[in-house]
Chain A
Amino acid sequence: LAKTTQPISMDSYEGQEVNITCSHNNIATNDYITWYQQFPSQGPRFIIQGYKTKVTNEVASLFIPADRKSSTLSLPRVSLSDTAVYYCLVGDRSSNTGKLIFGQGTTLQVKP
């Protein structure tokens, strides 16, 4: 499974757009990109998943350039409740299991 690299921490203010970039230089053809969010003392929660170009849902957008060696999670107009750890994961679509390998994650602190 490809290794991912993310910033350890980020600060933002309420109402701003936040972009968290994840580097995955060794991503393979069959790999997909998934982001999870985790609040303290809770289990991670799925945010978004993509393979290429752009994916958008009600919570976030995921931008993946053509070479797929990085991806950017975009959170529009963050609020205090978006303070959490965000994990970027790269997984193999061709495998038979849902094996998730979490990287170190990015701790996002949203300030008032």
Chain B
Amino acid sequence: AQSVTQLGSHVSVSEGALVLLRCNYSSSVPPYLFWYVQYPNQGLQLLLKYTSAATLVKGINGFEAEFKKSETSFHLTKPSAHMSDAAEYFCAVSGTGSARQLTFGSGTQLTVLP
């Protein structure tokens, strides 16, 4: 079975500062990995995904993530935080075979300070 662990349930950064949200995964086979963002009272929106192509993945709104197999990590970064980035971020891993179920981490609430 696959799982993800998000380190830090709350992260605060100043506007313009680097954003780093941590995600470690566990999977017995090469995984597919995702970052989703959830704004208040909205559903989940895909930020970016790793599907075994390039290890550095670029997503929407200036976010990117790097797949590091040796560290079993898929951390999310953005060079310069914007107030509109305040939201909850979820890392997720996809299972194998025909089921292809997404398993989510517990989420990281990002606060951007003026």
Is chain B found bound to chain A in the same assembly? no
